[in-house]
Structure 1
Amino acid sequence: MHFAYTTNGAADGSINRYGNNEISVSGDVLTVQIGDSDNNRNISGVGIFQLKLSNKNLEDARQLAKLLCSQKDPHSDVTLPTLYGAKCDGEMRSSYINDFSRPVVNQIVQLVDSLTNAGVQNGRKLVKLDLSVVSIDREKDGFLVSARFSNSGEHPIKFKTPDRWNTRMGRDMDILGVNGYRVGSAGNDDDQLGLALAGKLLVDPEQFPDGEVNLAPHSSVVVKMKTDSISKFSAGAYDLNIGAFMNIKVIGFQSSLLQVDFHSDYKNPTRITFDRDYPSTPQEREQWEAMHKAEMSWQPVKPGQTFAEDGLYRAVRTGNGHRGLLLKPFKAGEVAPTGRVTMPMQELPDVNIDGPVQWVWEAIAPTPVKPWSFDMIADTVQFCEPGAECPRSGRWVRRIQSDDLYGRAPTRYDIASLVTRRRGERMPEGDEGTGRTDWEWVGA
């Protein structure tokens, strides 16, 4: 009995996708390779397992071999590009699973799942790499995440330390990230926590010479990463997992486990309790705002579209890309204006943008200190009185409010007054000759 089945071939039918998932049988020995456990909650880590078949597993393998050698169906409606190879009547057959009818394919898939499970659960671990969260600690300018890489296989595994990973978009990109949900939650976005671990590696330089981790068989190592790439989350206890999309090298064993995609054990998450929300301090809000602004820069809300989240948004002129100076608050669910927008231009404040615009998320909108409160968290406010302590770092412009009792005269802006202030510095005094004035925040 001899066959091989690649369970996650790429859309173009190629065999090498993120290290491959495949099973093969030679005689009565089953080999299972897991190079991608990303979409499988029942399997964690990556590796290669070997199992001597007997009883039901042996019968499943024989049935699978028979199905792979069954008659092809020229009218098959199966679209899976999965590859297989099998020895049929002494000759090797190599083709795609869509050779067979749907009922045959369904049987094949069930048998492959059963044999994969048997190999992973009961097989000898020739190669096995796992990952888990150890701890997450709040730091002054982000979070310190400790993650454990464990090698429970029989061969050394080598890879670059995460601070040297290639994080640029593309096939060779490496990713390390934490995610999870608050204990007892319904799994809503507000109860989710996510951290992207692309930052500074905190470790004794002698621990990883040449920026490489060399994991001996049956050993583990803890790496500590400082990160400021964090999603908003509420205080509470969270069950957290960690995932990696990375390049590895197995020493002394030939395999296609080169670029792998895997996660920690979903059945045994790491529970961590956070005593306060994030962000919840002025420094954290500034940090989160800068990160989220970069993330949202490529997701403009076009005229007539619905805003997905609250925030202060900047107008960007459709057609020429000129940006407005002033920020406008919108709430999730509101519809973006479809008419013309006129306001000073960010690049040339003496010139107006005038026409249809799309809106780009810029910053946190004024936020009540408590639900339904009229008092706002100081470092989220949009307006400030002259001479007061600056509540929010960034650029401010003086606005001159109308003395019209009926409020029909528009608010004017003294473009020449643009100033930059850090939080805690004193704002400029008012100009008595211009009437009622205050200051409006126009971005960091």
Structure 2
Amino acid sequence: MSNHNFSLPLNFKLRLRILTTTVFLILIMQNLHAQPAPYPRGPGFGVTTLSGTQNGSNGVGVWMDGTVQIGLSDTIISDVVGIGVTRTQISRDDLLEVRNLHTELCLGAKKNLNPNAILTEPGTQFTVRCVEDGKEIAYTGRTEQLTDELSQRLHSFSARMRQNFDRDSRALVKLDARVEGIEKKDNGLLVSVTFINSGQFPLKIKTPDQWDPSGGWSTQLTVGGSDIEKNHGWSVDLVGVPIINKAEYPEEFVTIAAPGRASFKFLVVPTQKINRGIYLMNLMVGTSITADEAIARRGKVLFHSDYKNPYRITFDRDYPSTPEEWKAFEARKAKQVSALPSGAMVADSGYYRMVSVFGPRSQFVTKLEAGKAAPKLDVNTWDKWEWEADLARATICKPADACTRDGTWVLRRMEYVPKLTDETIASYTRRVRMGEAFPTLNVAETSKLYWEWLGA
């Protein structure tokens, strides 16, 4: 699990394909079973910025009566909260610009599209409906095929209109999400997130425990943030994590009424240490939604919670701190850190154990640091290195020291060069609890003795 600065628009790798092309903006309301208002018809144009087939797209559709429809499915790098489709009316000055753009688009689309234009991917698409000989005709193309001047004006207008997404506009489709709560519980955290439908049609999503963790950036349900001094941060991904309140959502899909909400609770163990302090937490979402009455197909969405209203939580001590928290923390992280082949570069610092595919594991762990190459393995005995413990707690202690971690420890004696392996005194093998004092021994050369951790 990686650190993210959730106080800023994130690169934290999710997207709604409500709009695959600008045609969607013009036709979306034609798919409605119950129209909330007279559907704008007649000449108009739309501009859609595509983000690739697996991601979302954002677009604007405008008609000559001044109606503007704005569809956003990827708002992760903007200040816009949530995603959806909204409709508003533009000013008279903007309407004059719309009419000029429409006239030039009709002329350009009919006669002057550059067939040799270099197209960028995924690019920006336009659609324009024109009236010719009393009939409506639609043209579709890429903005790179227009003149530079017209393309720039179209991009500028579209960007300015998108700023009206949640300003004096009426939501047709609108989905938001937020962190509802974070509580310390059972050596981990009980995290609650809520999806909010403030549009005019029910929305359907899979319950997060059904989301595919292999979806990468486009499938994500991540709670994260930083302390108020912005010195430390932590995050946890909830995709595929079992839902504690599953009885409330027994089916694979949940329908969120309009208006309505759905809340999911997860018991998680972070794989990052959390420093004591006050944290401001936000939510990132990347998934697919379906609005059966408003959208004929499933769409990808990528958005964040309201950065201006984060969830606030206070950690009055570091996490993990107790023996139980450390055990849960290391057990979960051990499952997430990839095993290292011989000589591979270490990505996660920690104590690693040599492992054979046939089952045997090395008796002791070895300290490996991120950015350095893992030691070469004896290929006749070992196959890989596996992460087992965090470097924050030592695996070697002197007699009478306080134990640094729960588990089984064995007494050892340092040997002189050229012997390469210290002596293990197996008769002195003990289970020791974190914080307990190690036994002292009335034997010669006590300065050469030490206790070494075998495992939890």
User: TM bucket by the smaller chain?
Assistant: 0.7 to 0.9
In the alignment, what sits opposite 2:27? Answer: none
Query: Any conservation in 2 of the 1:157–1:249 contact (CA below 8 Å)?
Result: yes
In the alignment, what sits opposite 1:81? Answer: 122
In the alignment, what sits opposite 2:24? Answer: none
Spell out, residue by residue over 1:251-306, the C-alpha distance to the aligned partner (whole angstroms, 9 max, x if none).
Answer: 42235553322211123222222222222222222222223333321577946x5x
Q: How does 1:68-217 map to 2 (within 5 A)?
A: 68-69=105-106, 70=108, 71-73=112-114, 76=117, 79-82=120-123, 83-88=125-130, 90=132, 91-100=137-146, 104-163=150-209, 165-170=210-215, 174-185=219-230, 191-198=232-239, 199-203=241-245, 205=247, 207-208=248-249, 210=251, 212-217=253-258
1:312 aligns with 2:351: yes
- With over 3 angstroms needed to count, the CA separation of the structure-2 counterparts of 1:173 and 1:8, relative to structure 1, is closer
1:381 aligns with 2:426: no
Q: CA deviation at 1:153?
A: 1.1
Q: Equivalent pairs: percent with the same residue?
A: 29
Spell out, residue by residue over 1:110-137, the C-alpha distance to the aligned partner (whole angstroms, 9 max, x if none).
Answer: 2211111124322210111111112211
Q: How does 1:394-433 map to 2 (within 5 A)?
A: 399-402=412-415, 404=416, 407-412=417-422, 414=424, 423=433
Q: d(CA) in 2 for partners of 1:337 and 1:62?
A: 66
CA RMSD across the alignment: 4.2
Query: Any conservation in 2 of the 1:78–1:100 contact (CA below 8 Å)?
Result: no
Q: How does 1:7-406 map to 2 (within 5 A)?
A: 7-10=49-52, 14=53, 17-28=54-65, 29-38=67-76, 40-65=77-102, 68-69=105-106, 70=108, 71-73=112-114, 76=117, 79-82=120-123, 83-88=125-130, 90=132, 91-100=137-146, 104-163=150-209, 165-170=210-215, 174-185=219-230, 191-198=232-239, 199-203=241-245, 205=247, 207-208=248-249, 210=251, 212-256=253-297, 258-297=299-338, 302=343, 310-314=349-353, 325-331=363-369, 335-336=372-373, 361-365=387-391, 367=392, 380-384=393-397, 392-393=405-406, 399-402=412-415, 404=416
In structure 2, the residue corresponding to 1:31 is in which secondary structure? Answer: strand
Instruction: Name the count of aligned residue pairs.
Output: 400
User: Unaligned 5+ residue runs, structure 2?
Assistant: 1-42
In structure 1, the residue corresponding to 2:196 is in which secondary structure? Answer: strand
- With over 3 angstroms needed to count, the CA separation of the structure-2 counterparts of 1:260 and 1:325, relative to structure 1, is same
In structure 2, the residue corresponding to 1:111 is in which secondary structure? Answer: helix
Query: Any conservation in 2 of the 1:78–1:101 contact (CA below 8 Å)?
Result: no
In the alignment, what sits opposite 2:23? Answer: none
Q: d(CA) in 2 for partners of 1:400 and 1:391?
A: 19
TM-score of the aligned structures, taking structure 1 as reference length: 0.74
Q: d(CA) in 1 for partners of 2:310 and 2:44?
A: 38
Higher relative contact order (CA 8 A, sep 6+): 2
- With over 3 angstroms needed to count, the CA separation of the structure-2 counterparts of 1:124 and 1:336, relative to structure 1, is same
Amino acid at match of 1:441: W
- With over 3 angstroms needed to count, the CA separation of the structure-2 counterparts of 1:118 and 1:387, relative to structure 1, is closer
Q: CA deviation at 1:329?
A: 2.4
- With over 3 angstroms needed to count, the CA separation of the structure-2 counterparts of 1:101 and 1:398, relative to structure 1, is farther
Q: d(CA) in 1 for partners of 2:351 and 2:50?
A: 43
In the alignment, what sits opposite 1:371? Answer: none
Q: CA deviation at 1:142?
A: 1.1
Query: Any conservation in 2 of the 1:131–1:263 contact (CA below 8 Å)?
Result: yes
Amino acid at match of 1:178: V
In the alignment, what sits opposite 1:348? Answer: none
Query: Any conservation in 2 of the 1:147–1:223 contact (CA below 8 Å)?
Result: yes
Spell out, residue by residue over 1:177-208, the C-alpha distance to the aligned partner (whole angstroms, 9 max, x if none).
Answer: 111121132xxxx6112022243433383x43
User: Unaligned 5+ residue runs, structure 1?
Assistant: 346-350, 368-379
Query: Any conservation in 1 of the 2:127–2:141 contact (CA below 8 Å)?
Result: yes
TM-score of the aligned structures, taking structure 2 as reference length: 0.72
Q: CA deviation at 1:92?
A: 2.4
